[in-house]
Amino acid sequence: MAAEELVNSSHWGAFTASLDEQGLSVKPDPADPDPSELLRNIPASFDKGVRVLHPSVRRGWLDDGPGPSTRRGSDDYVEVSWDRALDLLAAELERVRSTYGNPAIFGGSYGWASAGRFHHAQSQIHRFLNTIGGYTRSVHSYSHGASSVLLPHIVGDEAPLYRPTTWNVLSEHTDLFVCFGGVPAKNFQINAGGISRHTVRESLEDARARGAEFVTISPLADDLATVIDAQWISINPATDTALILALCWVLLSEGLCDLEFVDKYTVGFEEFARYLRGQSDGIAKTPGWAATICGVDASTIADLARRMAGCRTMVTTSWSLQRARFGEQPVWASIALAAFLGQIGLPGGGFGHGYGSTGGMGAGRLPYPLPTFHQGVNPVNDFIPVARISDMLLHPGSTYDFNGQSRVYPDTKLIYWAGGNPFHHHQDLVRLRAGFQQPDTVVVHEPFWTATARHADIVLPATTTLERNDIGCGRYDDIMTAMQQVASPVGESLSDYAILTKLSKRLAVEEQFTEGRDEWGWLEHIYERWRESIPDQFTPNENFAQFWAARHLDLPGADSKHVLYEDFRSDPEKFRLATPSGRIEISSPTIARFGYDDCPPHPTWLAPAETVAVGTGPYPLCLVANNPASRLHSQLDNGAVSVESKVLGREPIRLNPADATAREIKAGDLVLVRSDTGRMLAGAILDDRVRANVVQISTGAWFDHSSPEVAACIHGNPNVLTRDAGSSKLTQGSTGQLVRVEVEVYRGEAPDVVVHDQRLWMHPA
């Protein structure tokens, strides 16, 4: 008899799944027009080589008790019963709280976890920690940490990140798309919380069929040109600001700048214009000036500026541009450029930030909240900007700048993580390892033996979405999906909720945490409370049982014809922006007051180390460490799509053929990649879609530090190479996108990658 097909959902799409003796088979949701190939990774969820099967405690912690330890990351684990693990953990939480206070618990727990409104790991852990007095949190994201802090100063809030002009409008109205960082097809497979219909490709094709033109400005041609035929302007990484300034200079000097728009809707134009003309620093920002920095012909730049002024133009920057040192500048400059063009608030014109960065960007947004598992209130005020974690762990008590404040790092005694993988997401992983050795205790809930789990003292096995029931939906998805349990939990794993319920009982907060509900009770509760709370015209007729039986629910009302700043354009007094001036701030008096040398008062060319004299020096190549096509971050690195992409079992590094030849590197070679920060092994691929002097390796290969004499990571996690520096004092965002490296053939004996099989690393000889 054929196994029953159940439905479930992931950040990369809804699917049906059935389990029989042959294993799990996964099929895309039949209504998805462009399903993601990443669904093929999902069957690897049940791979016992990578699953945490039992509650496990690090031997050194069990023997010696809590305290800083250099053994984290190289120690053995002892499997214990759930009762033992949770008794130990409850006692340790109690000790840390009573001795040091709740701020000593770092519960930021950043990460994407899994789709699902109830079993969302961060909501679970935050609610639990709030019931016991709170925790030090983290703010903003690795995705757009610089922009989240910058945009409120420039346009009053983060609207460009959550309510951009929608694709429906763009595909109908835009004549010219100028895409810094492209509109990468690999990225729009994904959307946080779920994406049951992948439609970005269709929108791009519609626009193209109507005659719209696309220009992709990127060090990699495949950021757009593989989706539709686009003009590729190949640029040195991290030099976009110079190019954008030159585009502004051309508009200004050729009378193409819309001065009426600038006057009515912006402040700070004069100061910026003086800078463009060279009146404030002696350097006119001409195409000739930009050409030497960007490696783009001056005539190409001037032509592009004229084309942009001659038609309805959308200027978009991908989030990657700001995940770099001085990452504020290209985003701010692109807004100034769009203001010069005067099309902000018109259908299809203006600027965007992150089209293609996820599938949700430019999809219609639902005008009401989603069903939510409430996190409660955190009584602790302390926070860090999310990417300052190593600084916090290594330098408690020291001060740092952030968004006009001088702040002090708290002293962390206990780290509690559920649903994220800092040993994937953070930069300079060897430094992060040193940071993780400082606290008394590290606790991790994980389905998988990730590097973060392998650096923890108490590792609690969590289920995946296939092993529990949940409600799937995302802010930009108009279908709610029943996420049905497909299999029984692997090993002794429990849901985060079940783990925290047991823990809450030991800490006498069970009633506050659970409110007396189990999984079903909560699913019904959050669904029904949602149904009561949303505006009447959107309220579904289906009660929870009916929704669950139907397995899908249409969510009406998405604003699929939204134009960013249409209101503001129609009446800038009535619809003032939330900036101090109420207008777009081309120069910001607030940022001027902060006096930061690394974020001046208007968009400014600052040369990051990544761009200086590429092709020369000990690290002549610029590495683009972008998000992976073959998986979501580090999730299911053991899945079929991810494994098939590897070269000699390592993450592939793409080189321009000329750079490879100069180094005698052939396709398929094992190579050693070195930066100022660390060394890593990877497998070579040659590709002329990669600009000369640029190499590319995706993030997400599981950190494998089992052969430190060879390299800090022998598997190809580029975060052993990246620098742990903030984007600027203003924003302190992650700068993981780019780093200068050198690559050579690795001629030594190749050590085996051990991280995909716990039998290889768990019991050292």
Which of the residues are catalytic? 110, 112
Query: Of 235 and 486, which CB lies nearer to ligand MGD in the complex structure?
Result: 235
Helix (H) / strand (E) element for 471: namely strand 470-472
Query: With binding defined as CB under 5 A, does residue 143 bind Mo ion?
Result: yes
For 607-624, give the DSSP string. --TTTTTTT-SSS-EEEE
* Shortest distance (Å) from residue 384 CB to Mo ion: 18
Query: Of 230 and 636, which CB lies nearer to Mo ion in the complex structure?
Result: 636
Tokens describing residue 509: 């907060």
Measured CA to CA, the distance from residue 308 to residue 312 in angstroms comes to 7
Query: Of 97 and 633, which CB lies nearer to Mo ion in the complex structure?
Result: 633
Tokens describing residue 29: 């949701």
Residue with tokens 């293609």: 356
Query: Are residues 273 and 340 in contact, defined by beta-carbon separation less than 8 angstroms?
Result: no
758 binds, among ligand MGD, Mo ion, none (CB under 5 to 8 A by kind): none
Strand order in the sheet with 313-317: 231-234, 213-218, 176-180, 313-317, 350-353
Candidates 16-24, 137-145, 213-221, 708-716: pick the segment binding Mo ion (CB under 5 A): 137-145
Query: Are residues 340 and 257 in contact, defined by beta-carbon separation less than 8 angstroms?
Result: yes
Q: Where are the alpha helices (DSSP H) in 11-104?
A: 59-64, 82-100
Site for Mo ion in 669-728 (CB under 5 A): none
Strand ranges for 587-675 from DSSP E: 621-624, 652-655, 670-675
121 binds, among Mo ion, ligand MGD, none (CB under 5 to 8 A by kind): ligand MGD
Query: With binding defined as CB under 5 A, does residue 187 bind Mo ion?
Result: no
Helix (H) / strand (E) element for 684: namely strand 679-686
41 binds, among ligand MGD, Mo ion, none (CB under 5 to 8 A by kind): none
Query: Of 110 and 594, which CB lies nearer to ligand MGD in the complex structure?
Result: 110
* Shortest distance (Å) from residue 112 CB to Mo ion: 7
Q: How many CB atoms lie within 10 A of CB 532?
A: 8
Give the 3-state secondary structure of 128-189.
HHHHCCCCEEEECCCCCHHHHHHHHHHHCCCHHHHCCCCHHHHHHHCCEEEEECCCCCCHHH
* Shortest distance (Å) from residue 130 CB to ligand MGD: 17
* Shortest distance (Å) from residue 33 CB to ligand MGD: 18
Measured CA to CA, the distance from residue 240 to residue 246 in angstroms comes to 10
Strand ranges for 311-349 from DSSP E: 313-317
* Shortest distance (Å) from residue 143 CB to Mo ion: 3
C-alpha dihedral sign at 151, 157, 163, 167: negative
629 binds, among Mo ion, ligand MGD, none (CB under 5 to 8 A by kind): ligand MGD
In the bound complex, which residue of the shown chain has the CB atom lying closest to ligand MGD?
736
Query: With binding defined as CB under 5 A, does residue 390 bind Mo ion?
Result: no
* Shortest distance (Å) from residue 118 CB to ligand MGD: 10
- For ligand MGD, the binding residues (CB under 6 A) are 111-114, 119, 121, 142-143, 180-182, 184, 186-187, 189-190, 217-220, 223, 235, 237-238, 240, 318-321, 323, 357-358, 418-421, 424-425, 445-448, 450, 462, 496, 624-629, 632-635, 699, 718-719, 722, 736-738
Query: Of 7 and 195, which CB lies nearer to ligand MGD in the complex structure?
Result: 195
462 binds, among Mo ion, ligand MGD, none (CB under 5 to 8 A by kind): ligand MGD
Query: Of 323 and 431, which CB lies nearer to Mo ion in the complex structure?
Result: 323
* Shortest distance (Å) from residue 551 CB to ligand MGD: 21
Query: Are residues 119 and 397 in contact, defined by beta-carbon separation less than 8 angstroms?
Result: no
Query: Of 243 and 276, which CB lies nearer to ligand MGD in the complex structure?
Result: 243
The interaxial angle of helices 519-533 and 496-506, nearest 10 deg, is: 110
Query: Of 36 and 504, which CB lies nearer to Mo ion in the complex structure?
Result: 36
323 binds, among Mo ion, ligand MGD, none (CB under 5 to 8 A by kind): ligand MGD
Query: With binding defined as CB under 5 A, does residue 731 bind Mo ion?
Result: no
419 binds, among Mo ion, ligand MGD, none (CB under 5 to 8 A by kind): ligand MGD
322 binds, among Mo ion, ligand MGD, none (CB under 5 to 8 A by kind): none
Candidates 135-143, 283-291, 656-664, 689-697: pick the segment binding Mo ion (CB under 5 A): 135-143
447 binds, among ligand MGD, Mo ion, none (CB under 5 to 8 A by kind): ligand MGD
The CA-based angle 235-239-244, given to 5 degrees, is: 90
Query: Of 51 and 323, which CB lies nearer to Mo ion in the complex structure?
Result: 323
Pairing verdict, β 738-745 and 670-675: antiparallel
Query: With binding defined as CB under 5 A, does residue 758 bind Mo ion?
Result: no
* Shortest distance (Å) from residue 637 CB to ligand MGD: 8
Helix (H) / strand (E) element for 433: namely helix 429-436
Residue 570: exposure state from Cβ atoms within 10 A (0-12, 13-18, ≥19):
exposed
Site for Mo ion in 89-108 (CB under 5 A): none
**Site residues, Mo ion (CB under 5 A):** 143
